[in-house]
Structure 1
Amino acid sequence: MTKARTVIKADLRPLIGSRFQPAGFPDLGAAEFDSTDGRALLVESTQSMANRLESTTWDDARAEQREELSGLPYVRVVDGDGAFLSSSRLEAHRLASAYVMNGAVDGVKGEQWMRERLGLTAGRPLDHRAVARACFALDPVSLIHGVFFARKGWPWQPRIARAVTSFIEAYDVRPAVSGGVKRDVVINEAKDGATAEGYGTVPHHRVEYTAKQITAYFSVDHAQLRSYGLSDSATALLEALVDFEIGTLLDGGLRLRTACDLEVVGVEGERPDTAEATRRFAKIVQECGDQLGPVTTAVWTGRGKG
């Protein structure tokens, strides 16, 4: 029977000690809430986990995608001198990034170029499968983590939801309040604006947490991947990429922040095998050659009007 969903739960714990620092939000701080397991905490949001999964495809040291994923297209953003700026793997809006839309591809304004790729025509229905095929040819990762082309001047604003949803929660949490001091051996007092300039001895506090349980959740929507109407080989490529990302993230540990370094202690559900997913990808990407475009270069030379 064809699977509609796969759910994976990974039990985590701090790599050292028992304290950890959750995500913080403006005007809110840590996101606490009540659950059936007592006071709970959002350690890492869905948006952040999508970015972390996507980052497993990227090699920061080389400013290039991972060598294991050679043959996979994406959009590379450079400045007028050809220096690397960003890519569709690093941008929050992926293929819909302002750097792509306001840049130029082969001398054509990025927004116009993208609209042509997506096949959007005024007075005609939106062809969701054509949009999916275009995204697959430009950067298949956008079909896994979602993309929203919110362009007012377009006849349609195609939106693709996330096919993989992930977040981390902690249960039965307790605050661990501590503090420290920024010490100045030359000027001890902080007054007359000295602190804003970096002078003076300044005490500070911090709030971390302990928890009885920390769990990372992953939900893979196989039905959505199939709904794109891609070929069997293209859908299999997306499945292999999903397994590669989740497996790589779990294998490499979860160093979310300086004070939030977590390790996996157990997995409920079918844990992806990273090596096996890499082998699958290498085989399937060859079968998808005519459906995948090249790496696209978008030139961004600065912000336009507005």
Structure 2
Amino acid sequence: MTTQRTVLTVSLAPLIGSRFQPAGFPDLGAAEFDTPAGRNLLVESTQSIANHLESTTWDDARADQVEDLTGLPYVRIVNPEGQFLSSSRLEAHRLASAYVMNGTVDGVKGETWLLDRLGLRAGLPLDHRAVAKACFALDPLSLLHGVFFARKGWPWQPRIARAVTGFIEATGVRPAVSGGVKRDTVVNEAKDGATAEGYGTVPHHRVEYTADQITAFFAVDHAQLRAYGLSEPATALLTALIDYEIGTLLRGGLRLRTACDLRVVEAAEGQLPDPTEAARRIGKLIPDCGNDLGGVTTVTWAKGKK
């Protein structure tokens, strides 16, 4: 029987001390929720974990993908002077980024260039496999973490869901309330708008949490990977990339925020992916993918121009 899902469950703990700071959401703060087992907390959301996974493929110091992934395509966004701005690995909407759509590729507007690459035509059905093949050639990671081409002027608006989903929850949580003071040795009184301008000594409160258990969950949808209709080496490459991202993230340390630095306590035997082994597989599979993979695409984006 073919496996449809792979689920990875990893126990975590604070790297130092017992407190941690969860993700905060606008107009909500920390996302607490109740289950029959007690009070729980969303430490890191699905969207945030996707960003952390993608960050394992990018080297900020080099402004390029990590050396382990040399040979993989992605979209590189630069200004008219050729200075690096962003990439499909860093953009929230990946290949559907506004910088791609409103930029140019060899003098062609990005939106027009991408529409042609995806093969979308009015009066013809949406070919999901053709879209997946085009995305794979531009940046395979878009098939792992999802992309939505919400373009009103297009005949179709293709959407690719996440093939790998992750989040972190904590159970048996209790708030750890503390505080501090922002000191000002020159202007002690915070009045007449001084605080808004950054002056004055101002006390503040802080809410962190302790927990009985912190757990990271990952699920890989192998059925979705196969549904892309890619070649066997291409599908294997996607699986190796998932192992690389998860293994690098967990083994390299989960420093999610200043006050949320987590370590792996326990994972089921054989479950924790080895990023070194995954990198070896990626290196062997890239040549096997042949013409399925394109090169690095450069998009030029100029501020104020559409």
What amino acid does structure 1 have at the position aligned with 2:28? L
Name the structure 1 match of 2:125. 125
One-letter amino acid of the structure 2 residue matched with residue 285 of structure 1: I
Tell me the TM-score normalized by structure 1.
0.98
Contact 1:30 1:42 in 2 (8 A): yes
- 1:237-266 Cα shifts (integer Å, max 9, x gaps): 001000000000011110000000000000
**Could you list the runs of 5+ residues in structure 1 that have no partner in the other structure?**
none
1:17 and 2:17 correspond: yes
Give the distance between the partners of 2:249 and 2:230, measured in 1 at CA.
26
Kindly indicate whether the alpha-carbon contact (under 8 Å) linking 1:89 and 1:141 is maintained by their aligned counterparts in 2: yes
Alignment-derived partner of residue 198 in structure 2: 198
**In 1, Cα distance between equivalents of 2:202 and 2:290:** 59
Task: Give the Cα separation in 2 of the matches to 1:58 and 1:65.
Answer: 4
* Alpha-carbon distance in structure 2 between the residues aligned to 1:251 and 1:279: 17
Whole-angstrom CA distance in 1 between matches of 2:101 and 2:266: 43
Q: Which amino acid aligns with 2:213?
A: Q
Q: Classify the secondary structure of the residue corresponding to 1:30.
A: strand
Question: Which residue of structure 2 lines up, in the alignment, with residue 42 of structure 1?
Answer: 42
The correspondence of residues 220-231 of structure 1 with structure 2, limited to 5 A, is 220-231=220-231
Q: TM-score under structure 2 normalisation?
A: 0.98
Within the alignment, does 1:282 sit opposite 2:283 as a pair? yes
Q: Tell me, which stretches of 5 or more residues in structure 2 are unaligned?
A: none
Could you tell me which amino acid in structure 1 is paired with residue 80 of structure 2?
G
Tell me the equivalent position of 1:189: 189
CA RMSD of aligned residues (A): 0.9
In the alignment, the residues of structure 2 paired with residue 198 and residue 273 of structure 1 have an alpha-carbon distance, to the nearest angstrom, of: 47
Cα displacement (A) at 1:26: 0.5
Matching residue of 1:147 = 147
Cα distance in structure 1, aligned partners of 2:292 and 2:158: 20
Counterparts of 2:197 and 2:74, CA distance in 1: 43
Matched with 1:70 is: 70
Q: How does 1:53-132 map to 2 (within 5 A)?
A: 53-132=53-132
Q: Establish whether residue 267 from structure 1 lines up as the match of residue 267 from structure 2.
A: yes
Aligned residues: 305
Contact 1:145/1:161, CA 8 A, preserved across alignment:
yes
**Partner Cα distance (1:297, 1:29) in 2:** 39
Alignment-mate amino acid for residue 277 of structure 2:
E
1:26-41 mapped onto 2 (5 Å cutoff): 26-41=26-41
1:100 to partner: Cα distance = 0.2
Question: Is the partner of 1:17 in helix, strand or coil?
Answer: coil
Q: Distance in 1 between matches of 2:264 and 2:184?
A: 40
Instruction: Check whether the contact 1:102–1:303 (CA below 8 A) recurs between aligned residues.
Output: no
Shift of 1:4: 0.7
Cα distance in 2 between the residues matched to 1:268 and 1:86:
37
Superposed displacement of residue 36, structure 1: 2.8
Deviation sequence 1:186-220 (CA, Å, 0-9, x none)? 11101111111111100000100000000000000
Q: Quick one: percent identity of the two aligned structures?
A: 76
